[in-house]
């Protein structure tokens, strides 16, 4: 039983990785959660999860067909985390087409698969996580560029048959809450949370810990927990999801 979510934003700097790990930790209270750094060209998740020295990584599983992704799977903070490495050579050798097989393998024994997706819609490999997921969590912040790109992500997802689990606003300051209410009518799914702008997320990143581990009592952590509680995990058929990943198109190398 598994449901795959792409956590996506269309642009960088919206707090997507912080969000992915926060939702992962909150959902891990009730589910088996696996978090995958699906942004294979811009490894980031490892720094947020204290895995900066992780070896092997997802890249190894994307290079070598015989490599078992389970070797690149780390139990941290109550979740399984599959980080990407920072080696450019490994990234260049990696075959993004293998991502669907790797994710299919992971889907076989988890409840919730969170794909931290690339912050762009510029290439086939970048869009693949949104195509493969059951639902997308659109990460926004109350600025014109973030809303504009978030709308694009939503339309891409809907075009490819991926539903919208909801939107999550990061870096909301006091006056931004009106904008969140107005934005709600242009997005499918509920507004999962408005996460206040705070130093806690920056401090957590600097400490190499997910926000919910670093500052569990912060307002931001509470907002992410509320967001996770609003996601009703639908636990589809694990084999069906695995099959879908396996039959998905193979992207060109970057």
Partner 1 sequence: MNVPEGDLRRSRVVADAAAPLEAALDRRLTGYLVLRPADPLVPDDGGGVITVEEGVPVVAYHDGTDTGGPAALASLSGHGPYRAELYAVDAADLADVHEVEALRVPPGAPAEQVADDTELARRARERSPANRSSSDGDDAVEAFLADEERIADIKRRARAEAERRAAEWGFDDAVEPEER
131 binds partner 1 (CB under 8 A): yes
Rule CB under 8 A: choose which of 67, 93, 105, 124 binds partner 1: 124
Question: In angstroms, what is the minimal distance from the CB of 119 to partner 1?
Answer: 11
Nearest to 151 by CA among 114, 184, 113, 196: 184
230 binds partner 1 (CB under 8 A): no
Rule CB under 8 A: choose which of 11, 59, 135, 205 binds partner 1: 11
Nearer to partner 1, 88 or 175 (CB): 175
Nearest to 195 by CA among 174, 224, 167, 175: 224
Nearer to partner 1, 143 or 191 (CB): 143
H runs (alpha helix) in 108-230: 124-132, 144-159, 177-183, 200-207, 211-214, 219-230
CB 11 within 8 A of CB 146: yes
E strand map for 9-130: 33-37, 74-76, 79-82, 112-116
Within 58-77, the residues that bind partner 1 by CB under 8 A are none
Question: In angstroms, what is the minimal distance from the CB of 155 to partner 1?
Answer: 4
Q: How far apart are CA 186 and CA 180, in angstroms?
A: 10
Question: In angstroms, what is the minimal distance from the CB of 81 to partner 1?
Answer: 27
CB 165 within 8 A of CB 158: no
**Paired residues of 139 in beta bridges:** 168
Nearer to partner 1, 55 or 155 (CB): 155
- Binding track, positions 139-178, relative to partner 1; x by CB under 8 A: ---xxxxxxx--xx-xxx-xxxx-----------x-xx-x
Q: How far apart are CA 96 and CA 131, in angstroms?
A: 14
Question: In angstroms, what is the minimal distance from the CB of 250 to partner 1?
Answer: 8
Q: Which residues bind partner 1 (CB under 8 A)?
A: 11, 13, 124, 127, 131, 142-148, 151-152, 154-156, 158-161, 173, 175-176, 178-179, 182-183, 186, 248-249, 251
């Amino acid at each position: 039983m598994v449901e795959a979510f792409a956590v996506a934003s269309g642009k960088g700097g919206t707090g997507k990785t912080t969000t992915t790990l926060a939702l992962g930790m909150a959902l891990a209270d009730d589910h088996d959660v696996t978090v995958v750094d699906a942004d294979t060209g811009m490894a980031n998740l490892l720094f947020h999860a204290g895995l900066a020295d992780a070896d092997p990584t997802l890249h190894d599983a994307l290079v070598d067909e015989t490599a078992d992704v389970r070797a690149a799977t780390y139990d941290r903070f109550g979740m399984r985390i599959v980080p990407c490495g920072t080696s450019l050579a490994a990234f260049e050798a990696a075959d993004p087409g293998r991502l669907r097989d790797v994710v299919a393998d992971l889907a076989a024994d988890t409840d919730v698969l969170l794909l931290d997706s690339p912050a762009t819609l510029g290439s086939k490999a970048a869009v693949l996580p949104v195509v493969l997921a059951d639902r997308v969590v659109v990460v926004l912040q109350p600025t014109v560029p973030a809303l504009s790109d978030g709308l694009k992500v939503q339309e891409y997802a809907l075009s490819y048959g991926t539903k919208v689990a909801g939107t999550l606003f990061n870096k909301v300051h006091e006056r931004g809450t009106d904008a969140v209410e107005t934005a709600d009518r242009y997005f499918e799914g509920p507004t999962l949370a408005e996460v206040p702008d705070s130093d806690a997320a920056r401090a957590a990143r600097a400490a190499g810990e997910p926000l919910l581990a670093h500052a569990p009592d912060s307002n931001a952590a509470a907002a992410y927990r509320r967001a996770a509680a609003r996601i009703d995990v639908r636990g589809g058929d694990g084999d069906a999801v695995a099959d879908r990943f396996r039959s998905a198109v193979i992207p060109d190398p970057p």
